[in-house]
Amino acid sequence: MAILGIDEVGRGPLAGPLVVGAVILPEPWPEWVNELKDSKKLSVKKRKSLNDLIVSEALAVGLGWVPAREIDEVGISEALRLATRRAVKEVQSKKAPFSQIVIDGKVNFLRGTALERYVSTVVKADNLVKEVSAASIVAKVARDYYMYEVESKFPGYGFEKHVGYGTAIHLKAIRELGVCEEHRKSFEPIKSIMGLESNTKTVVKNTTVIGVRGEDAVCKYLVKRGHKIVVRNFKTKFCEIDIVSEFEGKLYFTEVKYRTHDLYGGGLAAIIVSKQKQMRFATEVFLKYHPEFYNRDLFLAVASVSGEKFIVEDWFSL
């Protein structure tokens, strides 16, 4: 009977999910199985080609995911147990038989389940047991792809390069851009950085709330007029766009300006020439991360919001 190999990827990063792979290889083994080894010892290109073979030819492949938010809630040890059980459950749903389970490392994450007695834990199994090697590869490829997608959602952090690990580039980006929702807020140094940020946030809290409420009002205004909101608060180290929306095949980049009164002019008064240059640069950066919009007509726009009820006084393209 076959072996079910299990391995995890993403235990140590500061951002992104924990992913556990579970694989039952075909019998008899095809030739490519001899090329399997620890995913960290393979090039990106080789991992990808082996991953495609595993997914298409293995008897069963399962992935168990625990997102950053859940890791913060339950802790990394419980997250490892959850991810392992989720991966195994997916394998079991495919009805592929196995007689032994090999987990990389020293901990049996299936302890307390009906499968506990079938488990062997083996240190360095990801390089010794082909089924575990396969599990490490599918988990690594799946997680890396996820992190590449995260970079398009939260540009500027370099997720496509470090995939969430605590590199110098990543830490520098966190200090410059702040913490995003993909960061593990229970991990150091994220926890300490957030502690330092909290003092600053108390000072600017009112301004931040006003900004968000103003943007909320403009989003509702645009949606009522047929716009589809593409993204809010697109931010990099160098620029920021409050709202990107799509209407009749055109893309609008809207700067939201709030005024308690109109003594100093409305939104247009705040969009001076230098600001318009910044906005144009921001659209170029946005398109770098979203090439699917290259063929659209692009327009800069401004929305003016005022008063305690956050009334949208005007919105127009520049």
Q: pLDDT digit string (tens) for 263-306?
A: 334 444 445 566 677 788 888 888 887 888 888 899 999 998 88
Residue 173 pLDDT > 60, yes or no?
yes
DSSP H or E run through 87: helix 76-92
CA distance 100 to 102: 7
User: Are the beta carbons of 80 and 54 closer than 8 angstroms?
Assistant: no
User: Are the beta carbons of 8 and 18 closer than 8 angstroms?
Assistant: yes
3-class DSSP state for residue 72?
helix
pLDDT, average across residues 187-203: 67
Is 261 or 180 the better-scoring residue by pLDDT?
180
CA distance 132 to 23: 7
CA distance 80 to 138: 16
CA distance 300 to 153: 21
310 Cβ contact list (under 8 Å, min separation 6): 213, 214, 216, 217, 258
Q: What is the pLDDT of residues 214-239, one digit of tens each?
A: 888 999 999 999 999 988 888 765 56
Q: What is the pTM of this model?
A: 0.64
CA distance 219 to 310: 12
CA distance 219 to 202: 26
User: Are the beta carbons of 14 and 44 closer than 8 angstroms?
Assistant: no
Task: Give me the residue label for tokens 């399962």.
Answer: 62
CA distance 32 to 36: 7
Q: What is the pLDDT of residue 287?
A: 85
| Spans of all domains in the chain | 3-162, 205-317
User: Are the beta carbons of 4 and 22 closer than 8 angstroms?
Assistant: yes
In the structure, what pLDDT confidence band is assigned to residue 261 with cuts at 50, 70 and 90?
Answer: very low
Of 151, 284, 301, which Cα lies nearest the Cα of 219? 301
Strand locations in 126-178, DSSP E?
A: none
3-class DSSP state for residue 12?
coil
| CATH fourth-level superfamily of 3-162 | Ribonuclease H-like superfamily/Ribonuclease H (3.30.420.10)
CATH tag for 205-317 (out of 3.30.2310.20, 1.10.1740.10, 3.30.200.20, 3.40.1350.10): 3.40.1350.10
CA distance 84 to 91: 11
CA distance 314 to 218: 9
- Count CB neighbours of 113 within 10 A: 15
**Cα Rg of the chain (Å, integer):** 25
pLDDT, average across residues 302-313: 86
CA distance 292 to 206: 36
- Count CB neighbours of 100 within 10 A: 14
Dihedral of the alpha carbons of 183, 189, 194, 195, in degrees to the nearest 10: 150
pLDDT, average across residues 103-122: 95
Q: What is the pLDDT of residue 212?
A: 81
Least confident range of 77-91, 135-149, 264-278, 287-301: 264-278
